[in-house]
Structure 1
Amino acid sequence: MDIAIPQVNTGVTADATKVRKSGSEILFTANFEGNPSASLPESLVWYHHEPTWKQIADGRLKYGMKDFSLTVRYEDDLGVNTGLKLAATKANLEIGGSFEDHQSTVWKIIGEFT
C-alpha cells in the first residue's frame, strides 16, 4: 500500500538549537477472505480526499479484506524547546508558555468488516 505520512514544513529557526530529527514508520497487516461483496455508502464527502482510506476501501471492495491494523509512528523534533526560550530571553524578546521536547506520536487504527 502507498500510505501518505503527514509532512511538516515550517520556517521556524533559532540560534539556540539547530538539531532537527524526524522519522516515520508504518506497519500494516490485513486478512483477506477473497470474497468481495461490499460497496461504499453514497455521498462520502471526505472519502475522495483521503488516499489512505481509499486504499483500505479498495482492499475491501476489490480483494475481500476482512480486517486490518495500521500503526503509524511519526517523530519530528523541530528543536523548539527550552533552548529557544533562553535564546529569546537573551535577545530581550518576551516568550511565554512551556516548552518540551517532542518525542513521537503513534496512531493505531484497527478495522473489521462485517
Structure 2
Amino acid sequence: MSKVSTELSARARNEVSRVLQALASSNQSQVAEQLGIDPSTLSRMKNDKKSNGLTELENCLVLLDVLGFKTVLKKYRMISEEKLNALFVMSKAWMESKQTIDDLFQDDIEDFGIDIELGYKEKA
C-alpha cells in the first residue's frame, strides 16, 4: 500500500465535519447497531488512520466527493438549477414591477373591499 497521504478537498472536509458532528450528537451505540457492527468498530472507523492518512469514514466521504456526490440530510429536497433559476427570474420580475411598498399590499386590501391607503407613500 502507498504511504502517500490523501489531501482532503474543502468540500470533503466539510462533509467529514458534518458527519462527525452528527455522530457526536447521536447515540453511537444505536448507530452501530443499525449498521450491524460493534460500537468499537464504529469508533475505529472514525478514529483509526489508514496508510493514506485518512480514517475509513474520511475515505468513504472522499470517495463520494471524487464521484461528484455530497451528503445532505434526509429532510432536504433537491431542486434543479434550471427550476431555481426560473424562480429567481420570476421573483425578480415581480419585485421590479412594484413601485412602492403600497404596491406589495394593495391586492390584499382590494380583495377585502377596503378602500384605504396604507400610508407608506411619500408625502408631496
Calculate the TM-score normalised by the size of structure 2.
0.20
Larger helix proportion, structure 1 or 2? Answer: 2
* TM-score between the two structures when normalised by the length of structure 1: 0.21
Structure number with the higher strand fraction is 1
Which one has the largest radius of gyration? 2
Greater RCO structure (CA 8 Å; 6+ sep): 1
